[in-house]
Copies of this chain bind each other. A is one copy, B any other.
Amino acid sequence: MKQDIITMVHGSGGSATSELIHEIFASEFKNDTLDQMEDSAVVEGSARIAVTTDSFVVTPPEFKGGDIGRLCICGTVNDLLMRGAVPKYITCGFILEEGVKIDLLKRVVHSMAETAKEAGVQIVAGDTKVVNGSGELYINTAGVGIVPDGVDIKASNACDGDVIIVSGTMGDHHAAILSERMEIDTNVTSDNAPLVDMVENLLSNNIRVRTLRDITRGGLGTVLKELAEASGKTFYIEDEAIPVKQVVKDFCGLLGLDPIYMGNEGKLVAIVDREDADKALKIIQGSKYGEDAAIIGEVKSENAGEVILKTRIGGKRSIDILQGEGLPRIC
């Protein structure tokens, strides 16, 4: 690339767009399907497929432990995994504001390629648009996965007696982004990670997994409330059992934040059959990115849609989804 920054001409659909696509995207994402540069990619499917999409607008685009590139692949891969699908194909749509630095774009694209490799997915289709603005970078990713026969993981599946597990510490990504923005040196790194190994291990060991949900915007509280409502059950959660890193606790204390509403980008809630709970916990703890997993509660078939948090000193409070202003542009 001759230029240092993105200009409107990169979005014209002509030679500058072509140069951008070939020099920045195609070289990093290289695979037989993408290389054909067709209007759509024709790939191997299966009888049931999972389809998802997410846009990523995180600011700043690079942060401790990750960047928007790693984030967008992880987010989409994880959304596919949450239905028990094997993630296979990713599409990416870049919306670049004029002024995006080419060097930043190169780092982000490289990070996408590396994360896709880690997660075992191919980037098979892409698109680039340039808009007026002040150098912001947005990425939309959509994902397609293959759903193995017999797999049926969904929000409404939770049964009386099921056990609720989280795969690690809460709030890391949120605290990392916020400390970047506030220029506080906290040593908190983002947890952005693809959970392929963890979900594969749960399924290949025949754990009776009812529900999986990754804990992103809105945090654990919002996710639990949504799942309780979708299943028509009550979730009892032990506040003390929720894993939170000390550095995140301290950061939250300082700013008056509640880790239960703080976003993560490499954590999931698993609701599993009680009989499989201990085995499931060990499998998650033994999987990549799962070492801090913990059992945090259980499912009861009373008072449909409630989430009750039992506090350390014996109190109880009802958890609702996040109200009002959450931290914007966290992902």
| Interface residues, chain A, with chain B CB atoms under 8 Å away | 8-9, 11-18, 36-57, 78-80, 82-83, 85, 89, 91-95, 124-133, 136, 138, 140, 142-147, 154-156, 213-214, 216-218, 222, 226, 230, 261, 263, 320-330
Known contacts A13-B322, A82-B39; is A49 also within 8 Å of B49 by CB? Answer: yes
A95/B138 in contact, CB under 8 A? yes
Question: Are A82 and B40 in contact, with the CB atoms below 8 A?
Answer: yes
The 3 closest A-B pairs by CB, nearest first: A13-B217, A14-B322, A12-B326
Are B85 and A40 touching (Cβ within 8 A)? yes
B8 with A325: CB separation less than 8 A: yes
User: How far apart are A166's CB and chain B's nearest CB, in angstroms?
Assistant: 16
Partner of A89, one of B51, B91, B214: B51
Q: Is the Cβ of B324 less than 8 Å from the Cβ of A51?
A: no
Majority-rule SS of A interface residues = mixed
A85 lies within 8 A of B42 (CB): yes
Q: Most chain-B Cβ atoms within 10 A of its Cβ — which of A131, A140, A145?
A: A140
CB distance from A326 to the nearest CB of B (A): 3
Residues of B contacting A147 in the complex (Cβ-Cβ under 8 angstroms): 42
Q: Which residue of B lies closest to A8 (CB)?
A: B328
Q: Which chain B residue shows the least CB distance to A15? A: B323
A291 to chain B, nearest CB (A): 23
Q: Which B-chain residue is minimally distant from A145 (CB atoms)? A: B40
Contact flag A91-B51 (CB < 8 Å), given A12-B328, A133-B133, A144-B144: yes
Contact B57 A12 (CB under 8 A): no
User: Which chain B positions have C-beta within 8 A of A11?
Assistant: 328-329
Which of the residues B14, B54, B80, B93 comes within 8 Å of A323, measured between beta carbons?
Answer: B14
Alpha-carbon separation in the docked complex, A127 to B216 (Å): 13
Q: Please pick, from B53, B128, B327, the residue contacting A125 in the complex, using a CB distance under 8 A.
A: B53
